[in-house]
Amino acid sequence: MSNLGIKKGDKVVIIGGGFAGLQLATALTKADLKVILVDKQNHHQFQPLFYQVATGRLEPSSISFPFRKIFQRSKTVDFRMADITSINPTEKKLMTAYDRTITYDHLIIATGCKTNFFGNKQMSEHAFSMKTTEESIDIRNKILFSFEKEIFARPEEKQAWMNVVIVGAGATGVELAGSFAELKNDVLPKDYHNIDFSKFNIILLEGSKNTLGNMSQESRIASRKYLEDLGVTVRTETLIESYDGDVVTLNNGEKIPTKNVIWAAGVTGNIIEGLESEDVFRNRYIVDRTNKLKRFDNIYALGDVAYMETPKYPKGHPQVANVAINQAKLLSKNILKSIKNENYKPEEFEYHDLGMMATIGKHKAVVELPFIKFKGPLAWYVWMFLHLMLILSVRNKIVIFFNWAWSYLTKDTSLRIITHIGYKKEEIISSNTK
């Protein structure tokens, strides 16, 4: 395998400031390169805690980190806030949504994933997804607004505002359902004295036989028991046939009135126009063991959007943060060594799975490490510690720890502000006049 061909002074453009893009840009801060990080958001988003923003446990600023703040002391890494619409590999330039161009010598695509609605247009139009901080805030606003709406709703309309349907029982769906259940049990009845929260139904739908289908049988059983103990209705081997914004129709013919459907059932890679179809497989760029696209000497893909076959993962790596981070670490190592030694042979990537974990509620979590599996309070504390350590700044670590400690001691949270609901004012007014 040849040298990467990256030389001192080259312009390296990274598209996407998620786990992979940020890791790579940070590792290259001291390299003799001109690095430009491009993202349509001006901040890095800590996706594993989106569900806590959606359920009012954390403020968005606690898990969001402005790129210019991160790199304010770097003289080699710059940031551009732009939405890249296409790649022109022949001219080595990127087109943005503002009809401006960004040129590059070497390009790294780390655009991550977006929600996969599997072609269901109704769901994409009416259901909430949770892939950005803004979408998490939208969920929080809508759920809290639903209780305000329920107070004024006609009797036949009330239950639709009190049903929350979550589609997909992977880690995101399970954590979201558990967090909503704790709100129902410990927090919301204190705020809404005139609402009967026994009628607030949290319904988790899963097409396969189990919750947390990518974990062990012990974790699947434990997670379902935790959810049901909290009052969540878990329906496995159940699919949504349709949703018109008012009623969910299941594959068994059952209808559930609901104004709140959250889609957590799958993701697909964020592909950018400009490359050929032969460069893409299942909405992921086909890369070699150094993350380089096979038809190009100067284009790479990392993380969720990269499809790499290895002996241990012949069907590609799982789309998880740890893969993205480790691919970025190895690529940065290869780049730095290639700059210093033009005869350097890049190392090949292989993923070593460090385990999985999910939290369902207070003292309710499952952890699977390569050498041990455990659940319950210890797993919950381990989950909290590891996620807290992954937060970037000391300030944000302190803020999150304080919020978690306050919630732990009081079973309460003060982060229940409804914002930017101007588009719903007509609904509120019409309800008040009925």
**Structure confidence by residue, pLDDT tens digits, 302-315:** 999 999 999 999 99
121-265+362-432 CATH fold: FAD/NAD(P)-binding domain (3.50.50)
Q: Which residues make beta-bridge pairs with 372? A: 369
Instruction: Parse the chain into domains and list their residue ranges.
Output: 11-40+82-115+268-340, 121-265+362-432
The answer for 427, left when phi > 0, alpha when psi is -120 to 50, beta otherwise, is alpha
Alpha-carbon distances of 96 from 15, 40, 131, rounded to whole Å: 11, 10, 21
Mean pLDDT of 391-399: 91
In this predicted model, what pLDDT tens digit does every residue of 262-290 receive, in sequence order? 999 989 999 999 999 999 999 999 999 99
What are the backbone angles phi and psi of residue 102, rounded to the nearest 5°?
-125, 125
- In this prediction, residue 421 carries a pLDDT of 52
- Beta-carbon count within 10 A of 73 CB: 8
CA distance 279 to 277: 5
Percent of the chain with pLDDT over 90: 88
Rounded to the nearest integer, the mean pLDDT of the chain is 93
**Residue 233: its H or E element:** strand 233-236
pLDDT, mean of residues 61-81: 95
For 11-40+82-115+268-340, CATH gives 3.50.50.60
Q: In the predicted model, is pLDDT for residue 431 greater than 50? A: no
Mean pLDDT of 227-250: 96
pLDDT in the model for residue 420: 65
Mean pLDDT for the stretch of residues 398-407 = 93
Residue where the block lists tokens 């179809």: 277
Q: Would you say the CATH fold of 121-265+362-432 matches that of 11-40+82-115+268-340?
A: yes
